[in-house]
Amino acid sequence: MEMSNKPLQKLNIFSAKGVQMRTFHLTWMAFFLCFFGWFGLAPLMTVVKTDLGLTKGQIGNIIIASVAATIIARIAVGKLCDSWGPRKTYTALLGICSIPVMTVGLVHSYEGFLLFRLAIGVIGASFVVTQYHTSVMFDKKIVGTANAVAGGWGNLGGGVTNMVMPLIFAGFIGAGYLPESAWRLAMIVPGIALFIFAFVYYFYTKDTPAGNFDELPESTQNSTVKVKGTMTMAMKDPRTWALFLAYGACFGIEITFDNIAALYFFENFNATLAVAGILAGTFGFMNLFARALGGIVADKVGLKYGMLGKGRLLALLLALEGIGIALFAQSSTLTIAVISMLCFAMFLKMANGVTYAIVPFVNQKAIGSVSGIVGAGGNVGAVLAGFLFKSSSISYAQAFVYIGVAIACVAAIVALVNFDKIRTTVPESNTLETANS
């Protein structure tokens, strides 16, 4: 029997009691596994590059493909969360996307690999479901922290992947397989995990604290859950697009760095494949606390200074991130590069958390659509950054400098937006509190 059918006002990360906390833990775990499938190939790209004979330009196209499909997928999935429900949406996403993850090893050409990387990229839409699901399970006072912790722990998969996939690869090498076979077999592991978790998510979560969409009274569905025109509502609000830009400048760069970090350390500082993977993994590992810290600080700033304060905090973090990336690009030694990476990673991941501490308040009846558009912004940022890394006329270091400047410009735009127009008090019957509507 569930303890309560209302959104929780506290986040007890050591508890799995009640549908809210059970859903919280399962949603970040699902997102964590999605990162394994999404970026499992990234730390193995040096092997794939040799096996398929890829050029720098082709690797750039592959990086772009890995995040491009997610743009459309996130918008579509956000709409599905509003209408179909997060439980069914996540289940379908996990099940369908497990197929290209498991079967990417069947390709033997650049073109085939590119298409599979595009298909696997759809799984990045999982983030939208994660943020939607935590948004409806927690009260407005704590929703920023809940979103940041769930998102951060899920993003942690990007760091763990960089560390674990080379070990899985090494395991197959130890079993007697050649490198060109080992990377293909290694990808079956995250694919199977995704397929199994689709069933876990379906049977052990609910759409809202009050129950699944199809179990709620029709009046409740019409007034608080299933609202028509949510995409139009989200698109008409300029704050949605300000957050779209902001997320492109923080999360967009995060997934770009997840894709390129191991290769960058391997080629620029002559690190071994294992060391490059560990260093790249350290960047992702900061999600264990950094994104959550952003959400916690945002909730506290919001209580004292309102949404305007949250907006200013986001602008400041983006500015510091841009400066940090530019300094990272100038690093002359591996030690300096790692130190500067850790600094800009802190600001970047905190900015991720702050962005989604604002998202649930832009429009209470279109949380999924707003979350989808803003989430897609992250991937637009990654695609644009990918074109820089694809270019044959500029080095990876120069690309990071350009990215730092672009982020500083986005910070200036965000600083000018009046987020204070967002209401900080919410009616009793809304999507965050569906139980008593």
pLDDT digits (tens, 9 = 90+) for 299-339: 999 999 999 999 999 999 999 999 999 999 999 999 999 99
Average pLDDT in the chain: 89
The per-residue pLDDT for 52 is 96
Residue 434 vs residues 87, 127, 136, 140: alpha-carbon distances, Å: 16, 22, 8, 13
Q: Among 117, 24, 6, which Cα is nearest to 436's?
A: 6
With 0-12 / 13-18 / 19 or more C-beta atoms within 10 angstroms meaning exposed / middle / buried, residue 223 is middle
Task: Please identify every stretch of the chain with a pLDDT value under 70, giving residue numbers as ranges.
Answer: 1-3, 218-228, 421-437
The span from the CA of 263 to the CA of 218, in Å, is: 53
Residue 208: helix, strand or coil by DSSP? Answer: strand
Residue 433: helix, strand or coil by DSSP? Answer: strand
* Backbone torsion region of residue 176, taken as left when φ is above 0, otherwise alpha when ψ lies between -120 and 50, otherwise beta: left
Q: Are 406 and 252 in contact (CB under 8 A)?
A: no
The span from the CA of 86 to the CA of 52, in Å, is: 38
* Four-point Cα dihedral 218, 370, 87, 34, nearest 10: 170
The per-residue pLDDT for 430 is 40
With 0-12 / 13-18 / 19 or more C-beta atoms within 10 angstroms meaning exposed / middle / buried, residue 14 is exposed
Q: Are 379 and 71 in contact (CB under 8 A)?
A: yes
pTM above 0.85, yes or no: no
Q: Are 289 and 394 in contact (CB under 8 A)?
A: no
